[in-house]
Structure 1
Amino acid sequence: MELRIFTEPQQGASYDDLLRVARTAEDAGYGAFFRSDHYLRMGSADGLPGPTDPWITFAGLARDTSTIRLGTLMTAATFRHPGPLAISVAQVDQMSGGRVEFGIGAGWYEAEHTAYGLPFPSLGERFERYEEQVAIITGLWETPLGGTFSFEGKHYTLTDSPALPKPAQERVPLLIGGMGAKRTPALAASYATEFNLPFVGIDAAVEQFARVDTACEETGRDPKEIIRSVALVACVGRTDADVARRAAAIGREVDELKQNGLAGTPAEVVDRIGAWRDATGVQRVYLQTLDLADLDHITDIASDVAPQL
């Protein structure tokens, strides 16, 4: 079982804040530092100092960290054209020495599109664009050196692209996720190296992972080739008082977090992760870390929870 740190900087974080968290996670031995791709805060937070872009963030972290892997849950297909996005991600992969993991989704938060002048099509069109972007980005990266890539879809057309630059990795890990019942599992079966479920219960996860397995079998792919992962809010403390303090800092109730996330003492959280593993076969857990100033939280989990897994 691998633990990864997952941040939501649209709630209020600068690059320096994220760098401190990423370096703390790296020093503590976490497998990866992930962040969301949002341009507008959610809930009651004021969002100061304002949004940051993930691929600009990762360009900095590529040079300011050494070993930790870097990725998105999830890059929004509505924010960028696929050709320039493929260039950006490949460049960051080169800058990091091959440490990028690329999560991409259809985009869902309408208010941030309105706030920054981005089109927000219907769900059906967003998913069409999402499917085409995945095909284009992977196609560009997989085109042999010296070859060209062309694509003609409903929403995007590329003609004789030199398909450059190439990532440092032979294959950048591609994360797909979500609860769509048909098209999402089918897309994962065709392209994903990892399937992620954010903030769902165990029963829902069991059902969705089964759909992905079925989609793999229908395409002749071994379902075991796809890593299973979940993202859950973390609130861990050595005492009940520590847990209550950390829950209050993020505006949540302890009982609700124990029900829907990973909250409690280290022993309680280890048991909860064990229940997830036994029921769903998950191999990675993304710990949604909402209080980015509480670096001790990250190190405490690394020292008190990770060794028991």
Structure 2
Amino acid sequence: MRFSWLAEQRLPWPELLAQATTMERTGYDTIWLSDHVFAEDGSWLLDCLTTAGALGATVPRVGIGTLVAADTFRHAPLIAQAALSLHRITGGRFVLGVGAGGSREEHEALGIPFPPIAERAERLEEACAAIRGILRVQGAKVPLLVGGIGRHVLDVVARHADRWTVWADPDVAARQRSRLDKRCRAVGRNIADIRCGAITMIAPAHLSVLPDSPWEAVMAGDRAAMREQVARYAEAGVDELIVCEYAVAPESRAEALQWFAERVAGR
């Protein structure tokens, strides 16, 4: 199983760069960047595509990816141009993750339409086909990840994606992967050809954890408990476990990531 980090884009750039450098040295496989504009307090976050380029040019080993760039924010040819640029900047380490857009609040704040999911998924499918075509013409083999669940989005994953990732605990990951498997078989694909990922919070028992975490998946406990949960993810068919540390008190987050890599992931 691969182990990766979903970066904290609330951090000032020097701190994010320092943390990313530590993640590379610690042994994480990929640094993922989400595509949100605002934090909970209304402050603006570091942009995923711009930050991907900066990290790709300064952190030389790890993969760099978007998790996921909202198709609703950008036209497909511009996403393809960014992906091609990042492919070249990183020497082939970039993974393009795209999605149908998930935050109604952000769309409304930016004055961008937020249609029903069926319409957004149709647009996402068109975007995936267009991006694939542009990158193919340019001779760039950029892995395409599609994030999300729901029948319409899983249909897009089955037809177009090299990778798929979802926020999920082991049970949800297994259930959603089973649904994706059915859609893959319906279009003549083997789900084994799609690398499946899951995103989860980590909350080591020996560190201070924030109360009432709102996150959809939290992996908590001591070393033995977390290793058991990692094994359950593997049994669910998860190929890449993407961890983030938002559930831990800010002063302990760097320690949590390093502890997980060394004591649980065995890096």
Fold agreement, TM-score > 0.5: yes
Q: List aligned pairs for 1:88-167, cutoff 5 A.
A: 88-143=82-137, 167=140
Corresponding position of 1:23: 21
Residue 240 of structure 2 is aligned with which of 284, 291, 294?
Answer: 284
For residue 29 of structure 1, report the CA deviation from its aligned partner.
Answer: 0.8
**Worse-superposed segment, 217-226 or 84-93:** 217-226
For residues 204 and 58 of structure 1, what CA distance do their matches in structure 2 show? 29
Corresponding position of 2:195: 227
Q: Report if the CA contact (8 A) 1:28-1:299 is conserved.
A: yes
Q: Secondary structure at the match of 1:132?
A: helix
For residues 77 and 289 of structure 1, what CA distance do their matches in structure 2 show? 26
Over residues 206-240 of structure 1, what are the superposed CA-to-partner deviations in whole Å (9 max), with x where a residue is unaligned?
2221122122222222221111211011122xxx4
Q: Secondary structure at the match of 2:82?
A: helix
Q: Report if the CA contact (8 A) 1:40-1:111 is conserved.
A: no
Q: Secondary structure at the match of 2:266?
A: helix
Q: Are the structure 2 counterparts of residues 125 and 91 from structure 1 closer, same or farther at C-alpha, using a change threshold of 3 Å? A: same
For residue 122 of structure 1, report the CA deviation from its aligned partner.
Answer: 2.9
Corresponding position of 2:6: 6
Which residue identity does 1:282 align to in structure 2?
Answer: V
Corresponding position of 1:203: 171
Identity of aligned residues (%): 28
TM-score (normalised: structure 1): 0.79
Corresponding position of 1:189: 158
Which residue identity does 1:283 align to in structure 2?
Answer: D
Q: Report if the CA contact (8 A) 2:33-2:52 is conserved.
A: no
Q: Secondary structure at the match of 1:231?
A: strand
| Correspondence 1:177 to 2:133 | no
For residue 179 of structure 1, report the CA deviation from its aligned partner.
Answer: 2.0
Provide structure 2 residue ranges, at least 5 long, that are not aligned to the other structure: none
Corresponding position of 1:295: 254
For residues 97 and 201 of structure 1, what CA distance do their matches in structure 2 show? 33
For residue 267 of structure 1, report the CA deviation from its aligned partner.
Answer: 1.5
Q: Report if the CA contact (8 A) 1:228-1:281 is conserved.
A: yes
Over residues 16-72 of structure 1, what are the superposed CA-to-partner deviations in whole Å (9 max), with x where a residue is unaligned?
232122111101011000011001223xxx254x22211110111111110110011
Q: Secondary structure at the match of 2:6?
A: strand
For residue 82 of structure 1, report the CA deviation from its aligned partner.
Answer: 0.7
Over residues 67-101 of structure 1, what are the superposed CA-to-partner deviations in whole Å (9 max), with x where a residue is unaligned?
11001111111111111111011101101111101
For residue 8 of structure 1, report the CA deviation from its aligned partner.
Answer: 4.4
Which structure is larger by alpha-carbon Rg, 1 or 2? 1
TM-score (normalised: structure 2): 0.91
| Correspondence 1:69 to 2:63 | yes
Over residues 115-168 of structure 1, what are the superposed CA-to-partner deviations in whole Å (9 max), with x where a residue is unaligned?
22323223232222111111111111112xxxxxxxxxxxxxxxxxxxx5x54x
For residue 2 of structure 1, report the CA deviation from its aligned partner.
Answer: 1.2
Q: Are the structure 2 counterparts of residues 92 and 225 from structure 1 closer, same or farther at C-alpha, using a change threshold of 3 Å? A: same
Which residue identity does 1:217 align to in structure 2?
Answer: R
For residues 282 and 97 of structure 1, what CA distance do their matches in structure 2 show? 26
Provide structure 1 residue ranges, at least 5 long, that are not aligned to the other structure: 144-163
For residues 214 and 177 of structure 1, what CA distance do their matches in structure 2 show? 17
For residue 203 of structure 1, report the CA deviation from its aligned partner.
Answer: 3.2
Q: Are the structure 2 counterparts of residues 80 and 232 from structure 1 closer, same or farther at C-alpha, using a change threshold of 3 Å? A: same
Residue 264 of structure 1 is aligned with which of 221, 227, 251?
Answer: 221
Corresponding position of 1:305: 264
For residues 118 and 156 of structure 2, what CA distance do their matches in structure 1 show? 14
Q: Report if the CA contact (8 A) 1:24-1:298 is conserved.
A: no
For residues 227 and 63 of structure 2, what CA distance do their matches in structure 1 show? 24
RMSD: 2.1
Paired residues in the alignment total 264
